[in-house]
Amino acid sequence: MHVPRSYIDGESADREWQRLTQAIESLSEEIAENRDEVARQLGPRYAAIFEAHRQMLEDSNLLEELEKCIRQQNFSAEYAVATVFGRYLEFFKQLKGNLLAERAHDIADIQHRLLRHLLGQQPARSVQINKPVLVLAHNLTPSETANLDTRYVLGFVTEIGGPGSHTAIVAEALEIPAVVGAGRMLDRVFPGDLVIVDGTNGEVIIRPDGETLERYRLEGERYRHRLAHLREMRCREAVTRDGTRIYVLGNIEFPHEVDHCLREGADGIGLYRTEFLYLSTDTEPDEERHFQVYRLLAEKMAGRPVVIRTFDLGADKLPYLRDSSSEEKNPFLGLRSIRLSLRHVPVFRRQLRAIVRASAYGDVRVMFPLITTLTELRQAKMLVHDVMEDLAEHGVRFNRQLPIGMMVEVPATVMMIDYFLEEVDFISIGTNDLIQYTLAVDRSNRDVVSLYNASDPAVLRLISSTIQAAHRAGKPVSLCGQMSANVLYTMLLIGLGLRHFSVPPFAISEVKRVCCSVTVAQCEEVARRAMALESAQSIDLFLRGELRKVLPELNLEECCK
């Protein structure tokens, strides 16, 4: 919506501000209604998206900026909204490739609705659908998506948006095929056209030929079959055919994802990336905010482990806490993660206090990211013990035996792993970083993406020696990088001795399914043969063949990305 520049005279500022606050109030009520409706239909996880919209709308910084535009710059309410939201939009859009860039669509949605309230326009009425259709649109807001009637809407496609957008997240809950952000397509399609929406590969095929149609019919049948199998896995434990228990835990970025983990029957939370708590606000969360979230997770997981990783900020996860004037040339090799935590001890302590306090409410464990030297580990551990002393002095309850672990994601750490293992209770291999630091490939640089490969023999050797060292030391080891979610590697990792996988919630059932289809002896043979190969390509090919042997019905293109 284009909003022309318009100004008010100085005397009308009070009236204009009041007009804007009334519009905000009524929009806030409208969003609350959406939230309650979505909570009834889809559950609290999806309702949280709308609650976040409401909080964004009522954010004190946002209100302050809007008020300044009206009182100090004499902008009309509409022009103030267009200007301030425009600034936020620009900021989020330039975070290309970052999960938060997707939030630009939420901001645009709120801006549009607020302008509508200011202009006194009625909400666009949803079209009544009463026969099976595909919805193709330039954009769908999360609320429009949530209101799609799944009895008739077979799938939908939007031209803009991305896989991490809230529209895509809501589509996942509705369990209908969707491609969000397909690019320009509306000018090539006409009502009544036959269209295939391939949500798995993010493809939209307009007017397919007979052969493609037949291929997709078969694909659809296979997909429904696979879903039925996966649903069955939800309530099963992962036990190999020769009786070895494999633990499949969840990786989460947002607290609400714990519900998805529970639905999938996760054995715990193996990685909670707490930096997202910091990234969702522009002021540091206080100890109480941390504590409420950690306690909730511990209580919801009811005795199952919850590994809380201390903040891993810097590099690709925004330079929070950093002075913006100190541009880093090489942020992945710079002041990130535990290095940043040890530079900002008061901030780090606040988080540690909350984690230690939450340990009274479940099986909470603390884990440090990117540990490279023993000194870093010792300093971080000292802070935990210091925090414990403090809390004990004040009579606060916590678990004295709180397990302390670290991530293994730097080759130097693997070289020294025996020493580290003497000083921690558990370790978790972070392959996302381990791969980039081993192969000297920036994980976020598209130009070198083909070099970033978990199958690389050098990476596999580092993983193997870490697992072996952990077994020698009698300490639990898990793998929480994306690699563990890729079922191509499940047999290999079991064969290398891994018994704890930590994967995003959507991958839990698939990994469990592979675990239940193999024997440890078979996996050990796969590992032995894979480790004798000398290139990533030959290892990849070999693993594909082995997986196909145990699960011939698996679509490798779909599962092994």
Residue 270 interacts with ligand PEP (CB under 6 A): yes or no = no
Contact segment (CB under 6 A) with ligand PEP among 105-113, 115-123, 353-361, 426-434 equals 426-434
Which of ligand PEP, Mg ion, none does residue 273 bind (CB under 5 to 8 Å by kind)?
Answer: ligand PEP
CB 433 → Mg ion: shortest distance, Å? 4
Out of Mg ion, ligand PEP, none, what residue 352 binds, judged by CB under 5 to 8 A for its kind, is: none
Among ligand PEP, Mg ion, none, what binds residue 499 when CB lies within 5 to 8 Å by partner kind? none
**CA–CA dist 23, 114 (Å, integer):** 7
Interaction pattern, residues 391-410, with Mg ion; x per rule: CB under 5 A: ------------------x-
Q: Which of residues 119-158 bind ligand PEP (CB under 6 A)?
A: none
Determine whether 480 is an active site residue.
Answer: yes
Asked if residue 347 lies in contact with residue 321, where contact means CB atoms within 8 angstroms, the answer is yes
The angle at the Cα of 436, spanning 433 to 440, to the nearest 5 degrees, equals 150
From 24-32, 264-272, 297-305, 427-435, span contacting Mg ion (CB under 5 A): 427-435
Interaction of residue 238 with ligand PEP, rule CB under 6 A: no
**Nearer to Mg ion (CB atom), residue 409 or residue 540:** 409
Token digits for 455?
């199958």
The encoded tokens of residue 389 equal 């002393």
Supply the DSSP string of 453-466, one letter for each residue: -TT-HHHHHHHHHH
* Residue 560 bears catalytic tag: no
Residue 544, helix vs strand vs coil: helix
Tokens coding 487: 């079922």
Answer left, alpha or beta for residue 112, where phi above 0 means left and psi between -120 and 50 means alpha.
alpha
Catalytic residue among 480, 515, 523, 559: 480
Rounded Cα gap, residues 94 and 515, in angstroms: 41
For residue 312 the two structure tokens come to 């891993």
Stretch that binds Mg ion, among 27-35, 214-222, 323-331, 423-431 (CB under 5 A): 423-431
Name the 3-class secondary structure at 170. Answer: helix
For 100, the token pair is: 């938060």
Asked if residue 433 binds ligand PEP (CB under 6 A), the reply is yes
- In the complex with ligand PEP, the residue whose CB is nearer, 480 or 511, is 480
Minimum CB separation of residue 520 from Mg ion in Å reads: 28
Tokens at 163, concatenated: 């896989």
| Single residue of 431, 455, 464, 522 touching ligand PEP by CB under 6 A | 431
Does 432 bind ligand PEP (CB under 6 A)? Our answer is yes
264 makes contact, choosing from ligand PEP, Mg ion, none, with CB < 5 to 8 Å by partner type, with: none
Q: How far is the CB of 37 from Mg ion (least distance, A)?
A: 38
The catalytic position among 53, 117, 166, 260 is 166
> Site map for ligand PEP, 312-351, x if CB under 6 A?
x---------------------------------------
The entry of ligand PEP, Mg ion, none near residue 363 (CB within 5 to 8 angstroms by kind) is: none
Q: State the binding partner of 431 from Mg ion, ligand PEP, none, CB within 5 to 8 A by kind.
A: ligand PEP
**CA atoms within 13 A of residue 72's CA, in its CB half-sphere:** 6
Among 362, 430, 476, 497, binds ligand PEP (CB under 6 A): 430
Q: Which two tokens stand for residue 442?
A: 């920036």
DSSP state of 304: S
Closer CB to Mg ion, residue 109 or residue 433? 433
Phi and psi, residue 531, nearest 5°:
-70, -10
Q: What are the distances in angstroms from CA 227 to CA 222, 224, 232, 510, 543? A: 9, 5, 9, 10, 23
Q: How far is CA 537 from the centre of its chain?
A: 28
467 contacts 496 by C-beta, under 8 angstroms:
yes
Alpha helices, DSSP H, located in 72-141: 77-93, 103-118
Q: Does 376 bind Mg ion (CB under 5 A)?
A: no
Tell me which of 480, 511, 514, 559 binds ligand PEP, using CB under 6 A.
480
> Tokens representing 18?
């009041």
Residue 106 found at the interface with ligand PEP (CB under 6 A): no
CA distance 268 to 86: 41
- Least gap, CB of 431 to ligand PEP (angstroms): 5
Residue 430 is a binding residue for Mg ion (CB under 5 A):
yes
Distance, C-alpha 475 to centroid of its chain: 28
Residues classed as catalytic: 166, 480
Residues near ligand PEP (CB under 6 A)? 271, 273, 312, 409, 430-433, 480-481
Residues near Mg ion (CB under 5 A)? 409, 430, 433
